[in-house]
Every structure is written in structure tokens, then in C-alpha cells.
């Protein structure tokens, strides 16, 4: 009788451990972060240096008072019309000759 009870308990433990294991494994997150979906921005060294000098906050975007030198060309540079100049927008404008 003891062997039957022990076998039953063992069978239940084994049967439920698979379900418990499946519930405790971490799900993999889909690659939806901006770095995973955004295309890489390539700039030559001079353009990169110019962007870094203009991006005084170091956030990777030119915003606030730092935009002032580019106000005359904002309509051509700020393609998403958010009032900021992203690294991608800066690179595209430099490549097009809008920013020199």
C-alpha cells in the first residue's frame, strides 16, 4: 500500500512539474525596441562631429535652444515635424547639402 501511495504521489509530481516549468519560464520579448527597428544612421566624421557639437544635451537629438542655428532650414531638416532634429534627420540634411 505504501508503494502504491508513493508511486501515485510521484506520478502526480512528475505530471504537474512540466506544467509548472512551462509557467515559470520567461517569455521572449519581441524585438520592438527602437534600436531593433530603426535603421542605422551613418555619417562621415565631420558631420558626426558637427552633430555632437550641436547636441549639447547628449540625448542624440538637437532640441530647444540648440535648434536656433538651424531655424532657417527647419522646414527641410525636421521631416517628422516634431520641432527637434534627430541624428537621422541631421545626416539626411547634411547629405542633401541643406546643412553644411
pLDDT tens-place string over residues 59-72: 999 999 999 999 99
Domains in the chain and their CATH numbers? 31-96 (1.10.238.10)
Please give the distance of CA 30 from its chain centroid, rounded to a whole number. Answer: 12
DSSP 32: -
**66 close to 55: Cβ distance less than 8 angstroms:** yes
pLDDT in tens, 32-62: 444 445 567 788 999 999 999 999 999 999 9
pLDDT tens string 70-97: 999 999 999 999 999 999 999 999 999 9
Dihedrals phi, psi of 86, to nearest 5 degrees: -80, 170
Residue 2 and residue 97: Cα distance in Å, rounded?
86
CA dist 14 and 40 (Å) reads 49
Amino acid at each position: 500500500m505504501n508503494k502504491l501511495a508513493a508511486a501515485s504521489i510521484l506520478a502526480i509530481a512528475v505530471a504537474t512539474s512540466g506544467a509548472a516549468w512551462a509557467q515559470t519560464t520567461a517569455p521572449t520579448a519581441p524585438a520592438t525596441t527602437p534600436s531593433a527597428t530603426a535603421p542605422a544612421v551613418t555619417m562621415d566624421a565631420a558631420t558626426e562631429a558637427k552633430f555632437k557639437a550641436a547636441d549639447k544635451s547628449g540625448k542624440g537629438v538637437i532640441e530647444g535652444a540648440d535648434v536656433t542655428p538651424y531655424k532657417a532650414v527647419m522646414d527641410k531638416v525636421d521631416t517628422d515635424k516634431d520641432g527637434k532634429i534627430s541624428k537621422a534627420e541631421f545626416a539626411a540634411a547634411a547629405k542633401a547639402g541643406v546643412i553644411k
